[in-house]
Amino acid sequence: MSERRTLVIPWMIRHGRTDLKLLVCIPVLFLAVLAFGGTSSILEMTPPISGLTLANLRDSFEETHNGHRHEAMDIIEPRGTPVRAAVRGTIRKLFLSKPGGITIYEFDEKVEYCYYYAHLDRYADGLHEGMSVTPGKVIGFVGSTGNAAENAPHLHFAIFELGPEKQWSKGKAVNPYPSLVEAVKRSK
Ligand SMILES: [Zn+2]
């Protein structure tokens, strides 16, 4: 949407179309960009673990794990490593599941994407549903709860595009790998 904003003005000048209608259109378009556009939280995310390098990242989105398409990334870290909020948003659900173990579902500010952190050893003290978090805030600690192997603690990290119902348990998985690579590069 940002290209539209920059293209409209030169187009008008070339065509001599500086009439009132178009002059009204520009601020309207600008406000529309501000209201509905802006950047997706995925493009602004920060790594959920401090000090990650590209060597720590492996794309396993399409792999089959336990009979299902993985649709997530596994970041191998020692037990107890702090897990941080990847984006500004709200802790929407703290859930204990058989496969995921101790998990967190975080909604971004625009309620467009849900960030999922699983196999945690425990939550950060005081973490609760409805809590606002900023990127980098410690929300939990790496562990092996759920179906992770006891001797292989890791963060299972996933991103879901929320549907119109905005339910934490429903969404379309988005591969976090490319945007996490960019996040790690930005963090250097
Ligand atoms: Zn996983």
The structure tokens listed for 110 are: 């625009």
Q: 49 and 32, same structural domain?
A: no
Q: 136: domain range?
A: 41-187
Q: 89 and 31, same structural domain?
A: no
Q: 31 and 11, same structural domain?
A: yes
Indicate the range of 7-16, 81-90, 137-146, 156-165 predicted with least confidence.
7-16
Q: 135 and 89, same structural domain?
A: yes
Q: Is the pTM of this model over 0.75?
A: yes
Q: 133 and 91, same structural domain?
A: yes
Q: 23 and 71, same structural domain?
A: no
Q: 32 and 45, same structural domain?
A: no
Q: How confident is the model over 58-87, as a mean pLDDT? A: 97
* Alpha carbons within 13 A on the beta-carbon side of 92: 21
CATH number at residue 55: 2.70.70.10
Q: 45 and 28, same structural domain?
A: no
**d(C-alpha 74, C-alpha 147), whole Å:** 13
Where is pLDDT greater, at 47 or 19?
47
**d(C-alpha 147, C-alpha 163), whole Å:** 27
Q: 22 and 55, same structural domain?
A: no
Number of domains in the chain: 2
What tens digit of pLDDT does each residue of 91-130 get? 999 999 999 999 999 999 999 999 999 999 999 999 999 9
The packing angle between helices 2-15 and 20-36, to 10°, is 170
The model's confidence at residue 36, banded by pLDDT at 50, 70 and 90, is low
Q: 76 and 154, same structural domain?
A: yes
Going from the Cα of 82 to the center of ligand 1, the distance in angstroms, rounded, reads 17
Going from the Cα of 69 to the center of ligand 1, the distance in angstroms, rounded, reads 10
Going from the Cα of 111 to the center of ligand 1, the distance in angstroms, rounded, reads 23
Supply the mean pLDDT for the chain.
Answer: 88
- Residue 136 confidence (pLDDT) above 80: yes
* Coil, helix or strand at residue 84: strand
Going from the Cα of 40 to the center of ligand 1, the distance in angstroms, rounded, reads 24
Q: 129 and 62, same structural domain?
A: yes
Looking at residue 188, what is its pLDDT?
A: 84
Q: 183 and 118, same structural domain?
A: yes
- Residue 33 confidence (pLDDT) above 70: no
- Residue 24 confidence (pLDDT) above 90: no
Looking at residue 122, what is its pLDDT?
A: 98
